[in-house]
């Protein structure tokens, strides 16, 4: 059975004004993410992959093109409509953490408080479930500053899936973990996609951090290029050979 797309970008363009000149970040980007599918976009820090993720999250607006989340075109919505759709449909895991010194239990529960009228008891139960599922139940009373990098990754994922979103966005969270932890984190992401029934779009700085994803794209020179489609074992060997040694060299030194 073919799964339904939860994110569709069609002909998306984005640029920023720099001293009166509009500098293009990327041009004519089109791709989709289906439910229970993990799609990665790989690119260096100056290629615009985080901007692409922000467009998927509704934080940035494309200059051209359309963005559909769970079948609804969100590019034409006003701020209130957009906020309502995204609170219910999208979960975001980033590296930033909370901006205030609340406990991780309160931080993980923020999407529920903002997006749904759950009872206090149901809310507490759901928060406890996701903290336990991500292996950070013992961090419930901790502050962000008290957590290790690996604990922060799992807390961010807990916060992103607590609302059972249709689309999970992962912004460079796995970079710099080391090979073993990166592999473990990717297994968790794939498992969450199946358990929650969401599609996953993640951005990463190198090919190996995104592997194995169901589909891997490269954002380079303003264009999106297919690197690998592991759903059909359709790996592009030229891209793979170019990308993989960079990670191997870094760990070999």
Phi (first) and psi of residue 134, to 5 degrees: -90, 5
CATH number of residue 25's parent domain: 3.40.50.300
Q: Determine, yes or no, domain membership for 133.
A: no
pLDDT for 130: 96
| pLDDT tens digit sequence for 103-114 | 999 999 988 866
Is the pLDDT at 24 greater than 80? The verdict is yes
Asked whether residue 20 is domain-assigned, the answer is: yes
Strands 5-18 and 215-220: unpaired
pLDDT digits (tens, 9 = 90+) for 52-71: 998 998 888 899 999 999 98
pLDDT at residue 31, rounded to an integer = 95
Q: 22 versus 14: which is more confidently predicted? A: 14
Task: Check whether 196 has a pLDDT greater than 90.
Answer: yes
Q: Is residue 213 part of a domain?
A: yes
What was the pLDDT predicted at 28? 94
Say whether pLDDT at 251 is over 80. Answer: no
138 located within any domain: no
Residue 133 banded pLDDT, cuts 50, 70, 90: very high
Residue 38 has pLDDT above 50, yes or no: yes
Which residue, 234, 246, 213, is CA-closest to 33? 213
In a domain, 18, yes or no: yes
Residue 157 forms part of a structural domain: no
Provide φ and ψ at 205, rounded to 5°. -90, -15
pLDDT tens digits for range 144-179? 999 999 999 999 999 999 999 999 999 888 777 887
Return the H-helix or E-strand segment holding 87: helix 79-89
Residue 116's pLDDT band, with cuts at 50, 70 and 90, is: low
pLDDT at 194 over 80: yes
For residue 242, the number of C-alpha atoms closer than 13 Å in the C-beta half-sphere is 10
115 has a pLDDT exceeding 90: no
Question: In which band, very low, low, confident or very high, does the pLDDT at 245 lie, cut at 50, 70 and 90?
Answer: very low
Q: Total domain count for the chain?
A: 1
Q: What's residue 97's pLDDT?
A: 84
**pLDDT value of residue 247:** 37
Q: Residue range 94-101: average pLDDT? A: 83
pLDDT confidence of residue 232: 64
pTM for the structure as a whole: 0.85
pLDDT confidence band for 189 (50 / 70 / 90)? very high
Average of per-residue pLDDT values in the chain: 84
Residue 109 forms part of a structural domain? no
What is the span of the domain harbouring residue 234?
Answer: 5-99+167-252
Please check whether residue 161 lies inside any domain of the structure: no
Mean pLDDT of 229-241: 52
137 vs 135: CA distance, rounded Å: 6
Share in percent of the chain as helix, strand, coil (round to 5): 40, 30, 30
Share of the chain above pLDDT 90, in %: 51
- The residues, any chain, with a CB within 8 Å of residue 237's CB and separated by 6 or more, are none
């Amino acid at each position: 059975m073919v799964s339904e797309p939860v994110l569709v970008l069609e002909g998306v363009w984005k640029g920023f004004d720099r001293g009166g000149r509009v500098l293009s970040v990327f041009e004519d980007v089109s791709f989709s993410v289906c439910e229970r599918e993990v799609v990665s976009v790989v690119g260096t820090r100056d290629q615009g992959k985080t901007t692409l993720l922000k467009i998927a999250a509704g934080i940035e607006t494309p200059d051209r093109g359309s963005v559909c989340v769970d079948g609804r075109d969100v590019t034409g919505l006003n701020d209130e409509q957009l906020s309502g759709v995204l609170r219910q449909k999208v979960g975001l895991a980033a590296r930033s953490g909370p901006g205030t010194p609340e406990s991780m239990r309160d931080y993980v529960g923020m999407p529920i408080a903002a997006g749904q009228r759950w009872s206090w008891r149901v809310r507490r139960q759901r928060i406890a479930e996701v903290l336990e599922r991500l292996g950070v139940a013992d961090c419930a009373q901790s502050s962000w500053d008290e957590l290790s990098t690996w604990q922060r990754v799992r807390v961010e994922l807990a916060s992103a899936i607590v609302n059972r979103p249709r689309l999970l966005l992962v912004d460079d969270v796995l970079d710099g973990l080391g090979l073993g932890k990166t592999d473990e984190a990717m297994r968790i992401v794939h498992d969450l996609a199946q358990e929650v029934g969401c599609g996953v779009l993640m951005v990463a700085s190198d090919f190996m951090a995104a592997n194995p994803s169901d589909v891997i794209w490269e954002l380079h020179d303003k264009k999106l290029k297919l690197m690998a489609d592991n759903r059909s074992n359709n790996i592009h060997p030229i891209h793979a050979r170019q990308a993989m040694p960079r990670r191997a060299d870094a760990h070999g030194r």
